[in-house]
Amino acid sequence: MLAKGTEHALIGDTVICTSLAGDEIGRVRTFCTHPARAADYTMASPSPSCDIPQTFLEPILIGHAASRGSRIRFDTEYLGLTQDADGVTVRVRDRVTEQEFRIRADYVLGADGGRSAVAADIGLPFEGQMDLAGSMNIVFHADLSAYVSHRPSVLYWILQPGSDIGGIGMGLVRMVRPWNEWLTVWGYDINQPPPDVDDAMATRIVHELVGDDTIPVTIRSTSLWGNNKMYATSYRSGRVFCMGDAVHRHPPSNGLGSNTSVQDAYNLAWKLAYVLRGQAGEGLLDTYDAERAPIGKQIVLRANKSIEEFGPIFEALGLTNTGDPEQMRARIAARTDNTPEAAAQREALREALELKNYEFNTHGIELGQRYSADYGAAVVPDGTPEPEFIRDPQLYYHPTTWPGARVPHVWLADRTGHKVSTHDLSGKGRFALLTGISGEAWTDAAAAVAEKLGIEIAAHVIGPGREHIDVYEDWARTREVAEDGCVLVRPDAHVAWRSTNLVDDPAATLQQVLTAVLALQTSRHLTTGSVEGD
């Protein structure tokens, strides 16, 4: 993905202007590319962020899924499903042969987008509204390097009062590949018949937003879509689960769509795997809904709030109390005057642009999810209160090993001196246990419990002379437990439980914790020492 994507350094000079060739109103350092915020990203993850279009991402994901044994059925249309006590029968149609057939499954995952037929068929409850406003996408090729290479970004917001749909006229030029493949987003009145966007109309819109009608433009595609503000309050009905845009429907503001969808899938995949292998009870699947539905609501409201936060920019420019495009343009230009009024306008604009940090630099929303045992999460509390946020929880990620939080990234070193992240020790379909030299008894306990429960626990002792060394002492500063304590990490890299110190019977304690996390009945394992298939 890093090889195919656009690197972090080229995605962050977000511009607000009257056209790419016109007046630049302001610029915001976005996606934590500000030098002071870049450190937040660097400290939070072993990998840099990047921007990758769906046309490049999906082949990567599908290729890896197929290499792991998944069967990918293209040209297949979902028609409906029927549940019973033992599974789900799904009716589908091959859109090439028109043949209809049935697929029998233990569980069904509806990841079929913002118009999800699966979510409708199983009657998931939703709050909010669809199609609040209309938007059109125009994908095109054009060399715009003369206008953007000196201010590289993913996003260029174009403010053109009176253009086409009237009013303030806000459009977007979105980089797909630097600097010759682009996407423009322009609005239309969703209460009127949808426009017929042919190549001539699309080219005219592109030229207007660029501000140069001499640039050769090749239109690749056009499409219409609606801005939504809707989220499901439950993600499951029986043996059917929904995820991604099917359950959180929102505009692309904040860039949370695909990222949150991947989080949904990561959360549910390991739980399904454990249940299907007989390593967890059915109750574990209930925690998917409990953990992810609040996150879906949060990002839907945040993305729509980001659209509203353009309002103060319009107000600062004097665009909200007039419908006259000429007057709007004059007020935009007036900010350059040497007058008290213009000085006040410039100050108001500066403050308004600061608000866009809540769209483009919300590191806490991106990485700061914490699942709470109070609401049914698959975590065991350690008796400590949730850590307070010392900075804005939307703008800043607060690393913590508190149960339910994402395990913090810290660089360690292996025996050869090469750097290894705590994230590399976690995940991979199994639990991980992190402890220090004084807590080596936890590793024996993990081995015993893993054998008894029939699961894998990767136990890592961090310290000098061991497989992993805390060379910077950053793990000691971050772990929030003593050296003889431990941090138990779930397969999705969230902390399942932690112990401040070594306990009298670590094996019994660890088994009790995992029995609770995996929704197992203790008697099944204390008597047989193995897991029988359900």
Kindly report, residue by residue over 369-425, the tens digit of the pLDDT.
999 999 999 999 999 999 999 999 999 999 999 999 999 999 999 999 999 999 999
Burial tier of 511 (Cβ tally within 10 Å: 0-12, 13-18, 19+): buried
pLDDT in tens, 168-178: 788 999 999 99
Scored b (16 or more CB within 10 A) or e, 234-251 reads: ebbbebbbbbbbbbbbbb
pLDDT in tens, 291-306: 999 999 999 999 999 9
Task: Give residue 187's pLDDT.
Answer: 87
Average pLDDT over residues 135-155: 96
Q: Distance between terminal CA atoms of the chain?
A: 39
Q: For residue 10, give the DSSP letter.
A: G
pLDDT in tens, 420-467: 999 999 999 999 999 999 999 999 999 999 999 999 999 999 999 999
The DSSP bridge partners found for residue 232 are 126
Task: Give residue 189's pLDDT.
Answer: 87
Pairing of the two strands 181-188 and 170-177: antiparallel
Distance in angstroms (rounded) separating the CA atoms of residues 110 and 119: 7
pLDDT in tens, 259-270: 999 999 999 999
Question: pLDDT tier at 52 (50, 70, 90 boundaries)?
Answer: very high
pLDDT at 530 over 60: no
| Residues with Cβ within 8 Å of residue 278, at least 6 apart in sequence | 454, 531, 532, 533, 534
Pinpoint the alpha helices (H) of 72-231: 117-121, 145-148, 199-210
Distance in angstroms (rounded) separating the CA atoms of residues 245 and 114: 5
Task: Give residue 164's pLDDT.
Answer: 62
* 3 state SS of 143: coil
Pairing of the two strands 13-17 and 155-159: parallel
> What does pLDDT average to over the chain?
94
Average pLDDT over residues 486-495: 98
Distance in angstroms (rounded) separating the CA atoms of residues 132 and 229: 7
For 213, other C-beta atoms within 10 Å of its C-beta total 11
Distance in angstroms (rounded) separating the CA atoms of residues 190 and 195: 10
Cis peptide before 179 (omega within 30 of 0): yes
Task: Give residue 162's pLDDT.
Answer: 79
Instruction: Return the structure tokens found at 476.
Output: 């000691």
Question: pLDDT tier at 522 (50, 70, 90 boundaries)?
Answer: very low
pLDDT in tens, 215-251: 999 999 999 999 999 999 999 999 999 999 999 999 9
Four-point Cα dihedral 462, 465, 469, 475, nearest 10: 40
In order of their start, the domains of the chain are: 6-47+135-228 (3.30.9.10), 310-355 (no CATH), 373-528 (3.40.30.120)
- Contact between 366 and 397 under an 8 Å Cβ cutoff? The reply is yes
Question: pLDDT tier at 529 (50, 70, 90 boundaries)?
Answer: very low
- Contact between 314 and 168 under an 8 Å Cβ cutoff? The reply is yes
What are the φ/ψ torsions at residue 437 (nearest 5 degrees)? -60, -40
Q: For residue 191, give the DSSP letter.
A: T
Task: Give residue 167's pLDDT.
Answer: 62
Task: Give residue 532's pLDDT.
Answer: 28
Average pLDDT over residues 506-531: 71
